[in-house]
Amino acid sequence: MPRARVLFVCIGNSCRSQMAEGFARTYGTDVMEPHSAGLAPAAFVAPLTAKVMLEKNVDMSSHFPKGLDGVPPGPFDLVINMSGQRMPALQGVTVEEWKVRDPMGLSEEVFREVANEIEQRVMRLVLMLRAKQQPNKPASAPARRI
């Protein structure tokens, strides 16, 4: 089955959406092609984002902020909006709102809490996508004694 194209969006593409993409690339590339973007991209990925993700064995060193125009072209199956703002209309695309606190400018502990929450949400998404890819198995016939 084809992988779902998933776009994670936040404001600056420096914290939340980068974390989500990192977790999705670590846990779910068998069922999704993850990307991330920001509505107003920052100049760089927040150092605390990289630090707390590395603590979870997710290397963010090759990640960089990008806007919606910096995402590879093509249709998305799902957009996860963490920006807290209304997304531009995306015809035929399911948009799911994740209310996740923006850690920018806050403590390292808040970054860890946000990373933990996003990790749990991404894992639920991965499991849901895997369940959708399971073919419907016919009910097995009762075992016969021979």
The 10s digit of each residue's pLDDT in 90-140 is 667 888 999 999 999 999 999 999 999 999 999 999 999 999 887 665 555
Task: Report pLDDT for 102.
Answer: 96
Q: Is residue 144 over pLDDT 60?
A: no
How far apart CA 84 and CA 45 sit, in angstroms, is: 19
Q: Is residue 146 over pLDDT 50?
A: no
Task: Report pLDDT for 110.
Answer: 97
Task: Report pLDDT for 86.
Answer: 83
The full set of domains in the chain, from first to last, is 4-133 (3.40.50.2300)
Return mean pLDDT, the chain: 90
pLDDT in tens, 18-31: 999 999 999 999 99
| Cα distance between the two ends of the chain | 39
How far apart CA 137 and CA 40 sit, in angstroms, is: 45
Write the DSSP string, the chain.
-PPEEEEEEESSSSSHHHHHHHHHHHH-TTTEEEEEEESS--SS--HHHHHHHHHTT---TT----BGGGSPSS--SEEEE-SSSPPPP-TT-EEEE------TTS-HHHHHHHHHHHHHHHHHHHHHHHHHHSPPPPPPPPP---
Residues belonging to the chain = 146
pTM: 0.88
Phi and psi (nearest 5°) for 133? -85, -10
pLDDT in tens, 31-76: 999 999 999 999 999 999 999 999 999 999 999 999 988 998 888 9
Task: Report pLDDT for 133.
Answer: 82
